[in-house]
A and B are shown apart, each in its own frame.
Chain A
């Protein structure tokens, strides 16, 4: 999912126990920081490593970007999404609401 589209969702649901963690698979710090500042992203943004130092993307089996996982309060992945198309944020918001409501 494109990061700027996640910001409104984060703002809307953060008080209900929702958080967003963005992980940059490119490791191009300059480019990433510029993008984050330009789009005024306020949620957590981290870097994955590369090769053997890749502590994040590889264990998650990420094979393309963007890839998103929606995780519930118990740490279970309940929803997975690859790519981004028009209307995906509507679908994602519904999924977030379901996970927040626990159903």
Chain B
């Protein structure tokens, strides 16, 4: 598990919340009082017990016991989410995870818990084998009229991963009215965002829809329409610091260009997504493409080096304080030949 402290691993955060809340779980997982006589808070005992579970199998057993003994508990959704995560990611058993989530859905009629568990199920359906199930689930969860832009986007991303193109198209169309600068401003009336921010965010919504509309078109064989959508997406997406959009656009664009036979441009998009967008799938595809089409450059490494020096963003001088409140400037601290700028988060 990579050590990313924020944002990325929602489930870790969920886990801590879960650990803090399962105060009923102490007796159920067999942590005898005499093992920790000084601790009265059952939630703390649970936390210790789950930490003490050495394998994902043991953690799963803990969660299953909880789900069995305390149906409709307010932490049920999180427990299901955690169990599904262990099964699908740690134990490589997505079918088992789907089965567990289905069983739990049968065990509650609390609408909030049902909604939470349905979301877990949707997350598991993000692969081609589950395209049909995803369509049925979305129909059960939503009516088109009741959906927000964010709901649509969640469905669209999951449907794209599940290769459920009809579903992608349907929700891209339905989300269009919410993907304008005006609609974004109306959705957040009291947030005090600057006009500039609202303009960028509204356009970014359009860019995201263009990305998925294009990828759907490409997968249905309409390369021409797809490339037009990608061009438009590129215009609309909020530019990221390193110049590569913060979504799958460059990967989709690159793959579509390859399909069209435009190897040079396709390879460049994929490689840029890999080196400046952190897209490992695109990187692997670029490497494979390079191997299949050896060009003027001796090696893939050399190819990437050229691309980096050509597209690498220039860092402007900036100032920040050290721990003695002294202003320091980047230009004074940086190395003659190389500098590593490392953003960290003390824990």
Contact = CB atoms under 8 A, between A and B. Distances in A.
Interface of A: 1-3, 6, 9, 13-14, 16-26, 28-29, 31-33, 35-36, 44-49, 55-57, 59-85, 92, 96, 98-100, 102-103
Contacts of B278: 80-82
Interface in B52-71: none
Nearest to A66: B344
Contact of B312 (A49, A77, A92): A77
Contacts of A78: 308-309, 312
A78 to B, nearest CB: 4
A40 to B, nearest CB: 15
A79 to B, nearest CB: 7
Interface in B240-259: 240-242, 246
Interface in B279-333: 302, 305, 308-309, 312-315, 318-323, 328, 330, 333
Nearest to B321: A47
Contacts of B334: 19, 21, 71, 75
Interface of B: 1-8, 240-242, 246, 275-276, 278, 302, 305, 308-309, 312-315, 318-323, 328, 330, 333-347
A45 B341 contact: no
A3 B341 CA distance: 11
Prevailing SS type, chain A contact patch:
mixed
Contact of B339 (A2, A18, A31): A18
Contacts of B343: 22-23, 25, 48, 56-57, 60, 62, 65-68
Nearest to B337: A17
B330 A21 contact: yes
Contact of A19 (B302, B320, B333): B333
Contacts of A70: 338-341
A1 B320 contact: no
B242 to A, nearest CB: 6
Given A35-B346, A99-B338, 5 more contacts: A23-B343, A24-B346, A56-B343, A73-B337, A75-B315
A36 B338 CA distance: 22
Contacts of A14: 335
A79 B3 CA distance: 19
A103 to B, nearest CB: 6
Contacts of B241: 59-61
A72 B5 contact: no
